[in-house]
Structure 1
Amino acid sequence: MSIRDALKADLSTFSPQERRVARVLLADYPRAGLGTSAELATAAGVSPPTVVRFARSLGHTGFPALQQALLDELSERVASPLSLYEDSRANRAEGHWLERGVQLATDSIARSLTSIPKAELDAAVTLLADPRMRVTAVGGRFSGYLAGYLARHLRQIRPNVSAPGDGQTIDAADVIDADRRNVFVVYDFRRYQARTVEQVTQLADAGAQIICITDEWLSPAAQVATVVLPTSVRSSGAFDSAAAAFLLTELLVDAVLDRLGPTAIERMVRWEEASANEVLD
């Protein structure tokens, strides 16, 4: 669990002064914790010893240890395939590559998806199942395929769903036309794309609802999102895995179908009739 997740999970164990430090850190995570303890104390309006006690309350020996933990998180957040390759080879377990990969994937998927708060999942389904909302799914260089997968399935069970042709582009018209009737499902994983984050911020400012499907370190887009659904990207090799996000996507579609009920079934029947000549008997 990241430091941010630990803070978001429960602030009740901290003193009132320590909670002030926690809120400053959460508001500008992790940058607020990468300066000096005095700077963090000033920002929170507390004394430097309070910052040290805050670090110890998190289980660290002091502020330098907390800062190192933040730096370690930051390094993971921007890890490249090359560095992941080196780490995976240095820490490779015994056994056949298939068995290693399956074990790691199944453990990571189960742990990450069951850790998502049910309230967040239900909120995502509520937005996606609302026929008054216009749904657009977008992603990055690789996650754009997930966005397209979501959109193609949702289109079969509800109207007003779209995805850019390449699964990646939010254009000027999307930003100009966005309002509170829009839902943007944004897939964004580490090595986050600056343009995507900028555009999502503009969409949120326009009133659009943002569902951010991201990794455990959280895309900067999560800061303006209505719903945040973090998934594990751990893999046994050099490249991050999209398996957890893919399964989450399928589960969301199924939950939306259940929520819509007969109206979705009726649309599926009409979809099958309209596309009957596209399928071999």
Structure 2
Amino acid sequence: MSKTANDAAPGGLIVHVSGLLPALSPAEQRVARLVIADPAAAARQTITELASAAGTSEATVIRFCRSVGMSGYPQLRIRLAAEAARRVEPPDARVVGGDIPPGADMAQIIATISFNDARAVEETAEQLDVAACEQAVAVLSAAGRVDVFGVGASGSVAADFQQKLHRIGRTAFYWPDTHTALTSAALLGKGDVALGISHTGTTTDCVDVLDQARRQGATTIALTNYPRSPIAEVADVVLTTAARETTYRSGAMASRLAQLTVVDCLFVGVAAKNRTRTKRNLEATAEAVASRRATANRRRG
């Protein structure tokens, strides 16, 4: 369910290009990184200047334009200028991009992380495909069983979604072990749903599990940052985030916050399908653990 750049206006061109980055050739990636880093500067450059700055040819710049859905360089410059005009930068421009430069003090580290984490959530919401979300909510709501998969940092998001679904009475499982996940996927069938979460979309554990579930007839949903990644190829529904992982930040909080934003949207969508049942189950589960919370007297003691 990837979009062309012309269709991706709500999320912005830079988010669109960032999502396609791994699918571009190495030379096109150099052009893309210049465009992502400073769209205003790129918009001011001629095709010759941009090609020279990227260490490539004008032909490669044209191929890059077409790869991201543009008819040519003039259209790219117009879109970049519009993108630069709408972007709101923080007072300290050093925090943009997420990189922590050598010698950064704690104030700059805090500003950089908080700004870019917030941007990841905002840009994810802006570019999220509403129709794809509605389709995901529909199949999740009707599913006889939901299996959620994720590895590493994405695993914590998968566990969070499983716990949310479980609390409102949905039959849902999260399998952190790949072998167990594969055997579980082999038992899914028509009417069941498998949701795989992978920031890069290239984690073979998650891709293989989703592929197994699909071959058994289950509906598959992928949540990834890259719409042309391998996990998207084995998914019936593709949902995308818009987070950038940079220096020191592989598996960063930004990607998890973006994933959690999408997961929360799906959860609320499913929960709202039957408000009475949801309210009853949430109250019952809250009451079940109420006695496990320390009272004011016990805390003072």
TM-score normalised by the shorter chain: which range applies?
A: 0.5 to 0.7
- CA root-mean-square deviation: 3.7
| Corresponding residue of 1:210 | 220
| Equivalent residues of 1:212, 1:221 under 8 A apart | yes
One-letter amino acid of the structure 2 residue matched with residue 161 of structure 1: A
Q: Give the drift of 1:125.
A: 1.5
Aligned partners of 1:218, 1:149: CA distance in 2, in Å? 26
Unpaired stretches in structure 1, ≥5 consecutive residues? 11-25, 35-55, 72-86
Range 270-279 or range 186-195, more displaced:
270-279
1:106 counterpart (108, 118, 134): 118
Matching of residue 64 in structure 1 with residue 60 in structure 2 = yes
| Corresponding residue of 1:46 | none
| Corresponding residue of 2:281 | 267
| Corresponding residue of 1:153 | 164
- Equivalent runs, 1:179-194 vs 2, <5 Å: 179-190=189-200, 192-194=202-204
Q: Give the drift of 1:157.
A: 0.7
| Equivalent residues of 2:150, 2:157 under 8 A apart | yes
2:130 counterpart (115, 118, 137): 118
Aligned partners of 1:201, 1:70: CA distance in 2, in Å? 30
Cα separation, partners in 2 of 1:217 and 1:88, compared to 1, 3 Å: farther
* TM-score (ref. length: structure 1): 0.65
| Corresponding residue of 2:7 | 9
- Equivalent runs, 1:190-269 vs 2, <5 Å: 190=200, 192-216=202-226, 218-235=228-245, 237-239=247-249, 240=252, 241=254, 242-269=256-283
| Corresponding residue of 1:127 | 139
Aligned partners of 2:180, 2:200: CA distance in 1, in Å? 19
Q: Give the drift of 1:135.
A: 0.8
| Corresponding residue of 1:143 | 154
Aligned partners of 1:198, 1:264: CA distance in 2, in Å? 33
Q: Give the drift of 1:206.
A: 1.5
Range 90-99 or range 217-226, more displaced:
90-99
Q: Give the drift of 1:237.
A: 4.0
Unpaired stretches in structure 2, ≥5 consecutive residues? 9-19, 27-46, 52-56, 68-97, 296-301
Cα separation, partners in 2 of 1:228 and 1:91, compared to 1, 3 Å: farther
* TM-score (ref. length: structure 2): 0.61
Cα separation, partners in 2 of 1:172 and 1:275, compared to 1, 3 Å: same
| Equivalent residues of 1:105, 1:234 under 8 A apart | no
